Amino acid sequence: MATTGTDLLASFWHRLSLKPLEVSYTFLIIAATILLLLWTSASSYFRTRGRDRFPPGSFGFPIIGDTVQFILANKSDVAYRIWIQKKIAKYGPLFKWRFQGMPVVVMDPPGGNKFLFQNDGTSFEIYWPVQMATLLGSEPISVLRGERHKLLRRHLNRFFNHAAVSRYMEEVDRKTVQHLARHWAGKEEPEFELVPFDVATLYTFSEICNLLLSLDEGPELESFLKDFMKWQNGLLSLPINLPGFSYYKALKARKRILQILEEYVKQRKRELAEGRASERAKVDILTNLLTVPDENGNLLSDSSVYDNLLVLLFAGFGTSSGALAMTIHFIGKNPDVYAQLVQEHKSIVDKRREEGREDVLTMEDLSAMKYTWRVIQESLRLQPPVGGFFREAIEDCEYNGYVVPKGWKVMYSTISSHYDPRFFKDPMTFDPSRWEQPPVPFTFISFGGGPRQCIGYEFAKMQMLAFIHHLVRRYRWSVTDPNEIVIRDPIPRTAKTIKVIKLTPSS
């Protein structure tokens, strides 16, 4: 009799028949295998689904991504613009890349910038690449997060708000005139050459050291400045702690800087305890940091004072020196801009003399420098002191249909914002008149935005306006190479000289 299919199947199962315990183990193995396959399939589906919703872009090489290209590009204005504009041309203004092993999303202007700034402190927190975090320290305002950051910012803001800056006006004006007398008017020849970045750095560093520490110009300050320049140059370098590398030199410089600051703190404490603090020292920021409690009645720890002094010194001269040097550079390239500046500042001086006021700048005078501020803004647009800043997503975020997972880094880019022709017509052209109308919100971001907007904005503005006021009244200048490429290390600067001509008193 022929064997049916049913018989064959029965025979097969008969031969495979197992004892009850064996059946239990087999069932568990099969069930576990099925669950594993289901989990793997589901994970693959959701990973693919999530990846489809990530911003466009490429992570580049494994782990390092575009780290080396990005750091090298930051050595030159042209190289940085080319790097970021290639990304934008390929992926659009919102794109992802990888930096030091981290996924990074560059936000698009203005919507992405607005989204980031408005959610800073809630969905995002500050993030510093490893070399920057190490060089900045653990307790400055620029590193702290959450409530600790808010508390310290409110505390420090009392020394940098409009009312405080107004109190510094007379001293800044005095130091500006003193600087020009020493380093510009002191030249014997009626015509001479100098490097704008060198003099701008010395000027801004002198101003901030005077404000923070009551330290005047001299050999001590110039030695202090050399260490700060080494420290600054390591902020966006490859984090290689070996002799000869910028990061190694920056770590050594940081150690020396903190030792110097520690001595200033000890000396000021002794002076305060003995009642020997000078009148100027009573109003500098070091004295305030040591004697003025925060809103909870607590004084800063010594380590917090050191770290915050270091960061405030950098914020007060690093970015300002680059901004001022580039403003001088652009004025030297544009004689028509210089002529309008001369006219504006002559009018300010004439009005002051008509009213019988002393020849000392006031906040009222600064408010009349409308064209001067447009020139500075245009310089900041074309050559922002900082190319951008990082944040970290502290929760899963969704923007414009894309997912930014928790732990990913986000970045706002001043270059991609400031050079976008949708917001700044003919973006490569230096044109102060474009500032006669306010820019589209969240497109001009030289001073950042949101709860972490530059705390020294008012002081930096006053400092630069005061310097340009006195400079155009005394000198005329032109660049020696109109086509010079701007260097970034990481602050923008030019290395070649400008040709300066002293003006007669009647000018």
- Rounded to 10 deg, the angle between the 302-333 and 457-474 helix axes is 40
Report which of 414, 486, 409 is spatially closest to residue 443, judged by C-alpha positions: 414
Tokens 């600054």: give the residue: 232
Contact 311, 342 (CB under 8 A): no
Q: What residues form DSSP beta bridges with 124?
A: 120, 393
Distance, in Å, from the CA atom of 66 to the CA atom of 68, rounded to the nearest integer, reads 6
Contact 121, 451 (CB under 8 A): yes
Both tokens of residue 443? 């497109």
AA letter at 212: L
Q: Residue 96, SS3?
A: strand
Contact 381, 425 (CB under 8 A): no
Distance, in Å, from the CA atom of 491 to the CA atom of 431, rounded to the nearest integer, reads 22
Report which of 162, 142, 161 is spatially closest to residue 152, judged by C-alpha positions: 142
Tokens 């203004």: give the residue: 93
In degrees and rounded to multiples of 5, residue 391 shows phi and psi of -130, 165
Q: Could you tell me if residue 75 is left (phi over 0), alpha (psi between -120 and 50 degrees) or otherwise beta?
A: alpha
Q: Residue 330, SS3?
A: helix
Distance, in Å, from the CA atom of 267 to the CA atom of 262, rounded to the nearest integer, reads 9
**How does strand 102-106 pair with strand 409-413?**
parallel
Report which of 444, 479, 485 is spatially closest to residue 110, judged by C-alpha positions: 444
Which DSSP string corresponds to 293-324?
--TTS-PPPHHHHHHHHHHHHHHHHHHHHHHH
Distance, in Å, from the CA atom of 2 to the CA atom of 9, rounded to the nearest integer, reads 14
AA letter at 94: L
**How does strand 388-393 pair with strand 124-127?**
antiparallel
Counting DSSP H helices and E strands in the chain, the numbers are: 18, 12
Distances (CA, A) of 414 to 2, 81, 113, 193, 209: 85, 10, 10, 32, 28
Q: Residue 287, SS3?
A: helix
The annotation status of 209 as a binding-site residue, yes or no, is: no
User: Which positions make up the binding site?
Assistant: 454
User: Which positions make up the binding site for heme?
Assistant: 454
